[in-house]
């Protein structure tokens, strides 16, 4: 089945803006609501809280806007459903939420999956995908895979693997484009299975508390769903593959408002840098004069490379707050989204892609069936059945049961015949023993074949269950839901066309009035030109305010970039100090860039500097120098003369490792057991205080303790010596 493309192959990125309701804190603080949304005209108005009342509000027009009273289902019907349906048709699709921290991005993307009314875009996409598979055609087979990762501090982490803190690398190939090496991908067969993956990844995602948001996401997360569909018709099999990226970006934030310090400040710096790189990519795509698009400035932009200007249908959902204290952030978000409207993508259907796994699954299933068929033919000589794909599972099950029963009957009958023959014809114990061993060997071989067959059947069953066939389980509720969704999509498409026509008519009417103004009287002319003057005056003041705001925003961004540059400069100076203090000068130059005479090379894949290993062929170890008179090493004349009469090792040419060690002087005695016991018993017998309880065994304070290993001249001399010492100290 071919899917013809339209002549106009480019389409703009669809931009949606959602305004969240005021938070409890904002209501408690009495914050002013400055942002209003007009869903019928697709317009957002933002009023400057510190400006004069006469200053007009700033207006922005988008594809769709949502007021704070909108529901999650309304957002999904406009934002998610068209993209998911395109992915089911074989296109690549991306939905990403952007906005300041605490603007409701995670609520828009995830929501509360347990509550049907509060489910976000991701859980609703799950329902949409599996409803489509359930209600699909019977000649369609589907394979659905899912993966989930985050970008934390410019490190990619797999959120659903057993080691979610391990950093992964980005790779790029000509077939699949940019991909994450080593990222786990799981085949899912139901909503519950894919929802478990999302919940597991959500628990592993990095979240922290700030002054603006108690559950602030500290990383960008990407949930990817790959849907492969194999359609069989009269012309053969055709495979199409769609890839859906559901991106929840971390919020841009200012340190003065979030109060981030330490690790939170480091995270905020990385988040703002990646979002700044994303803004530069959008600006470069919009600007027709720029030939270079800086996708490689960040891992986020590399992953979204195909979604921005590539083969993808992309929807950007910008989230903003309504309160006055978020005026600067809201204005920056709306300008950001307004630029993204002009990005042009070139989506196309992915037919028979090289990286499709469905074809591999079908080939593996065919091989397993051939093995099982061959093993069935060799076992017991039973007749094989040629079961084609057209036979239903019920008929196939009956045939298998019948053949198994026949095999069991034949085995029982043959066993009886063998036993009868053994009793009739076998006379000697030796013949009985040989036949018994032969039967045991055949039984072991048959058991081994049965085990191999069971393993192959389990593997075949598992692979067949992973491939879902369209229209297998028709649920009336799901069928009704799909019909309702289709009707809602048609209604939304009609409203979008009406909104586009209304905008076009308004522009044309303004142009017509300006060109074809005719007045019947002087007063009418004065009144008409006064209205025009007021209108132009309002536009002029609005333009002046816009220029002033842009200058203020530019200065704020410039200050933030300068702070980032200062922080990076401090890190560079710290590393230079460490190198100059601890790295020898002959090796320090190797840590420089190759262009500056060093050995360090920047790796775009890992985003790190690396020093390649030296080539052993070009690496030469300097030879040691020998002495002038044939000695092993050079020596001075003084050492050579001194060596003639001085035996010190310092002046010798011998290898120090071959010399004998100079043992220290011994200060201990060898223990002699029997002799020591005899001496101890003699001392105990001579001491009478052990037999006289009136005498204390304690040694008097004025008597020194005798060491049995020292020889004293006499007690009198010791006492006199001790007395003289005490007199000296006194």
Q: Which residue has the tokens 């999650």?
A: 72
Q: How far apart are CA 336 and CA 331, in angstroms?
A: 9
Rounded CA separation 351/26 (Å):
51
- What are the DSSP E strand ranges found in 421-513? 468-469
Asked whether the beta carbons of 93 and 80 are under 8 A apart, the reply is: no
The DSSP 8-state label assigned to residue 623 in this structure reads P
For residue 515, what are the contacts with CB-CB under 8 A and spacing of at least 6? none
Q: Are 41 and 378 in contact (CB under 8 A)?
A: no
Q: How far is CA 62 from the centre of its chain?
A: 31
Written as one string, the DSSP assignment of 656-725 is GGGSPP-PPPP------HHHHHHHHHHHHHH-GGGT-TTS--SPPTTSPPPPTTS--S-HHHHHHHHHHH
Residue 8 three-state SS = coil
Task: Using CB atoms within 10 Å of the CB of residue 560, give its burial: 0 to 12 exposed, 13 to 18 middle, 19+ buried.
Answer: middle
Q: Are 49 and 533 in contact (CB under 8 A)?
A: no
| 103 annotated binding-site participant | yes
Q: Using CA atoms, how far apart are residues 279 and 285, in angstroms rounded to an integer?
A: 10
**Residue in the structure block whose two tokens are 């059945």:** 385
Q: Has 104 been labeled as part of a binding site?
A: yes
DSSP 8-state secondary structure symbol assigned to residue 351: B
Report the candidate in 247, 367, 256 with the shortest Cα–Cα distance to residue 314.
247
CB 95 within 8 A of CB 247: yes
**Residue 531, annotated ligand binder?**
no
DSSP string, 506-549: HHHHHHHHHHS---SSHHHHHHHHHHHHHHHHHHHHHHHHHHHH
Q: Which two tokens stand for residue 3?
A: 């899917």
Pairing of strands 92-99, 313-320: parallel
Burial of 74 (0-12, 13-18, 19+ CB in 10 A): middle
CB 315 within 8 A of CB 97: no
Segments in 583-600 forming alpha helices (H): 585-588
Residue 610 tokens, joined: 């690396």
Strand ranges across the sheet with 43-46: 35-38, 43-46, 58-61
* Cα separations in angstroms, 33 against 22, 323, 491: 8, 5, 31
H or E element at residue 568: helix 522-582
Note whether 34 and 323 are within 8 A (CB): yes
- Token digits of residue 637: 């004349």
Q: How far apart are the C-alpha atoms of 567 and 561, rounded to whole Å?
A: 10
Q: Flag whether 99 is marked binding.
A: yes
CA 161, CA 177: separation in Å to the nearest integer? Answer: 23
> What are the percentages of helix, strand and coil residues in the chain, rounded to 5?
50, 15, 35
Q: DSSP assignment of 577-636, as one string?
A: HHHHHHS-HHHHGGGSBGGGTS-BEEETTTTEEE-PPPPTTT--PPPPP--TTS-SS---
Place of tokens 């509550």: 115
Length of the chain: 730
The residue among 39, 15, 46 whose CA lies nearest residue 542 is 46
Which residue reads 């020093």 in tokens?
611
Query: What are φ and ψ of residue 111, in 5° steps?
Result: 65, -145
Tell me whether residue 106 is annotated as binding: yes
- DSSP H stretches of helix in 137-258: 191-204, 255-258
Q: What are phi and psi of 71, to 5 degrees?
A: -100, 165
Q: Which residues are part of a known binding site for ATP?
A: 99-106
Q: Which residues are part of a known binding site?
A: 99-106
């Amino acid at each position: 089945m071919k899917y013809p493309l339209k002549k106009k192959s480019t389409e703009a990125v669809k931009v949606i803006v959602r305004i969240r309701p005021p938070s409890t804190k904002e209501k408690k603080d009495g914050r002013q609501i400055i942002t209003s949304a007009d869903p019928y005209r697709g317009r957002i108005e933002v009023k400057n809280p510190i400006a004069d009342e006469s200053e007009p509000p700033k207006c922005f027009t988008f594809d769709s806007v949502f007021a704070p009273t909108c529901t999650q289902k309304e957002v999904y019907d406009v934002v998610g459903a068209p993209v998911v349906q395109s992915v089911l048709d074989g296109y690549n699709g991306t939905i990403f939420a952007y906005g300041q921290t605490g603007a409701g991005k995670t609520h828009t993307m995830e929501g509360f999956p347990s509550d049907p009314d509060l489910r976000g875009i991701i859980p609703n996409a799950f329902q949409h995908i599996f409803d489509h598979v359930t209600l699909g055609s019977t000649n369609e087979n589907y394979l659905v895979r899912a993966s989930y990762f985050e970008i934390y501090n410019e490190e990619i982490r797999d959120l659903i693997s057993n080691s979610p803190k391990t950093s992964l690398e980005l790779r790029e190939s000509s077939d699949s484009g940019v991909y994450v090496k080593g990222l786990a991908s799981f085949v899912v067969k139901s909503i519950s299975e894919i929802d478990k993956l999302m919940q597991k990844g959500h628990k592993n995602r990095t979240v922290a508390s700030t002054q603006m948001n108690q559950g602030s996401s500290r990383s960008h997360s990407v949930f990817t769903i790959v849907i492969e569909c194999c359609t069989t018709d009269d012309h053969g099999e055709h495979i199409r593959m769609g890839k859906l990226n559901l991106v929840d970006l971390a919020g841009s934030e200012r340190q003065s408002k979030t109060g981030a310090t330490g690790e939170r400040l480091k995270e905020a710096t990385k988040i703002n840098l990646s979002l700044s790189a994303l803004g530069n990519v959008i600006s470069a795509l919009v600007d027709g004069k720029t030939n270079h698009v800086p996708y490689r400035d960040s891992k986020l932009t590399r992953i979204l490379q195909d979604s921005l200007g590539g083969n993808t249908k992309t929807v950007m959902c910008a989230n903003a707050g309504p309160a006055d204290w978020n005026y600067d952030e809201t204005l920056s978000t709306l300008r950001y989204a307004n630029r993204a409207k002009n990005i042009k993508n070139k989506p196309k259907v992915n037919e028979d892609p090289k990286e499709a796994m469905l074809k591999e699954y079908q080939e593996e299933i065919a091989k397993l069936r051939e093995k099982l068929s061959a093993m069935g033919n060799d076992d017991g000589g039973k007749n094989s059945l040629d079961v084609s794909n057209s036979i239903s599972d019920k008929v196939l099950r009956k045939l298998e049961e019948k053949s198994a029963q026949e095999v069991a009957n034949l085995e029982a009958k043959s066993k009886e015949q063998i036993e009868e023959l053994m009793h009739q014809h076998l006379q000697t114990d030796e013949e009985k023993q040989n036949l018994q061993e032969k039967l045991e060997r055949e039984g072991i071989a048959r058991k081994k074949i049965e085990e191999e067959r069971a393993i192959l059947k389990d593997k075949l069953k598992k692979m067949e269950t992973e491939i879902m066939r369209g229209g297998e389980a028709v649920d009336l509720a799901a069928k009704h839901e799909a019909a309702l969704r289709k009707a809602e999509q048609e209604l939304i498409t009609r409203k979008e066309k009406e909104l586009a026509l209304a905008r076009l008519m308004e522009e044309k009417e303004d142009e017509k009035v300006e060109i074809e103004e005719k007045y019947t009287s002087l007063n009418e002319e004065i009144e008409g030109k006064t209205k025009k003057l007021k209108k132009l005056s309002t536009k002029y003041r609005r333009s002046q305010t816009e220029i002033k705001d842009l200058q203020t925003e530019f200065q704020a961004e410039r200050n933030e970039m300068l702070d980032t540059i200062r922080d990076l400069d401090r890190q560079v100076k710290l590393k230079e100090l460490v190198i100059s203090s601890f790295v020898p000068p002959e090796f320090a130059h190797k840590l420089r860039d190759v262009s500056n005479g060093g050995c360090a090379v920047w790796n775009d894949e890992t985003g790190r500097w690396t020093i390649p290993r030296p080539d052993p062929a070009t690496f030469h170890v300097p030879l040691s120098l020998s002495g002038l008179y044939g000695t092993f090493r050079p020596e001075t004349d003084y050492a050579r003369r001194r060596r003639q009469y001085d035996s010190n090792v310092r002046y010798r040419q011998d290898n120090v490792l071959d010399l004998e060690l100079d043992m220290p002087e011994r200060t201990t005695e060898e223990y002699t057991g029997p002799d020591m016991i005899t001496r101890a018993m003699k001392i105990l017998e001579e001491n009478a205080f052990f037999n006289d309880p009136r005498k204390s065994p304690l040694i008097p304070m004025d008597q020194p303790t005798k060491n049995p290993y020292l020889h004293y001249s006499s007690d009198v001399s010791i006492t006199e010596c001790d007395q003289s010492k005490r007199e000296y100290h006194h």
